[in-house]
A and B are shown apart, each in its own frame.
Chain A
């Protein structure tokens, strides 16, 4: 029989420590949405999404009220659109039409984001891939709920530097087209290396081609719960610290697993994976930065941060793995700057720099996330930052990502405000020296050697 202390512990996690299930994401394959004309493909896409996902939001709300735990987002990921629209899209504008249909489908089923306006170009671009990438600025500025991603490299293929150069240009263009909203469009676009096929988190979610027709993936959260647990063991040694993080991650993940199984059963869609991630929000007490401070750092970014984060990330995985039958997605501590109040504070006071963030991404998921930089940052510099982060992923056989926002009209010392879960961010300083010649080289960086590791 349950003990009252256990019930109180769970409810304290939910009500005081911001424990929630961050997202139920339904992955939907659109590979069967082919047709002879663009209109036919658009109709099939709309019909498939609004049929398969018609009950997603209702089921999410039902589970939320029955278990008494918030399920913050209900979302959809789809097959990368460059593959779906490849046979009928003859120019970037054709892809924008698909984006608008996706946006309409998202509104119809009531999800806040639909991810998968994407291209997989780790080794090279087809004409359709290139049209899609070139359509991203227009697609993101003319829709509300679309998330876009481009996979530009992997450990097995190396880095497609032509795609990285093009993506830098498209980020700048997206920033300009959405400059009235602090270049918000860029917050819905991510560049990836070694992207997982089953990631439930935006903006990088897409339904990979290795997946089935439909699937339920769930992202858990809970930095506030970890922080509260650590507050009770203030001066403990590393053994106790690690055990506490593991046990907490286990408990958080068990709830995610329950929600995923319930959603899967009620929707009649197979359960895919749980993404074991500490996903912060801008709310006070829901911050990975605060967990790092509780571990013993004055601010995230202080010396010792990379080691503390490596430990935190590893313990979250060790605790979470046993709590779930299938683990996947990004699985790690997220360190988005604008979505985490203490990371915002650390960046504002200068404790956290772009270079330190880059180092931190070597030991945790996922990458340079929600970084606001001056609006006059050059396209080639954006590409250089992306190439650096992709190289980390390629060499270390991990997922890395860049979601960077050159905020048009703003400079270091100012703030960009994105609103909601996307939060706000101080504009961070970018290394002013040029990488123009490096980025203008054509071709790709070869895959790294898989032996002789040092």
Chain B
């Protein structure tokens, strides 16, 4: 599995999830888990996704997601899950 963490940070508004999920579905990225919270007034959303089935390269997916974020005024980061697993799990 190519486990990836997608985080969305910004001002909450209608359609953020729809946009991101739509893009992931169109690119055969499977969403494994979604959670969200509010930190310092900002909407924080985290998706755990599996990119194994996607025909696009990690860097392409990451930059296209970042671009979608810019269009809707939120910050979207795509990172391999390994960095979080290593830091927080023994």
Contact = CB atoms under 8 A, between A and B. Distances in A.
A318 to B, nearest CB: 16
* Interface range, B side: 20 to 34
Contact of B79 (A5, A6, A66): A66
Nearest to B63: A65
A8 B44 contact: yes
Interface in A210-255: 251, 254-255
Nearest to B85: A2
Contacts of B29: none
Given A10-B87, A67-B80, A258-B86, A4 B37 contact: yes
Q: Which secondary structure dominates chain B's binding surface? A: strand
Interface in A400-442: none
A350 to B, nearest CB: 38
Contact of B37 (A5, A9, A69, A251): A5
Interface in A367-399: none
Contacts of A255: 83, 86-87
B62 A65 contact: yes
A66 B58 contact: yes
Interface in A1-47: 1-11
A3 B9 CA distance: 16
A68 interface: yes
Given A1-B48, A2-B5, A2-B48, A7 B62 contact: no
Interface string B65-90: 00000000000011111111111100
Interface in B42-68: 44, 46, 48, 58-59, 62
Interface string A252-274: 00110110001000000000000
Interface in A355-373: none
Interface string A110-131: 0000000000000000000000
Contacts of B83: 10, 67-69, 255, 258
Contacts of A5: 37
Contacts of B33: 1
A2 B81 CA distance: 9
A228 B84 CA distance: 19
Interface in B25-42: 33, 35-37, 39
Given A2-B81, A7-B84, A10-B84, 12 more contacts: A4-B35, A4-B46, A6-B87, A7-B5, A8-B7, A10-B83, A65-B62, A66-B79, A67-B82, A255-B83, A257-B86, A258-B82
27 contacts: A1-B33, A1-B48, A2-B46, A2-B85, A2-B88, A3-B35, A4-B35, A4-B36, A4-B44, A5-B37, A6-B84, A6-B87, A7-B7, A8-B37, A8-B46, A10-B83, A11-B77, A65-B62, A66-B58, A66-B59, A66-B80, A67-B80, A67-B82, A68-B83, A251-B88, A254-B86, A255-B87
Interface of B: 5, 7, 33, 35-37, 39, 44, 46, 48, 58-59, 62, 77-88
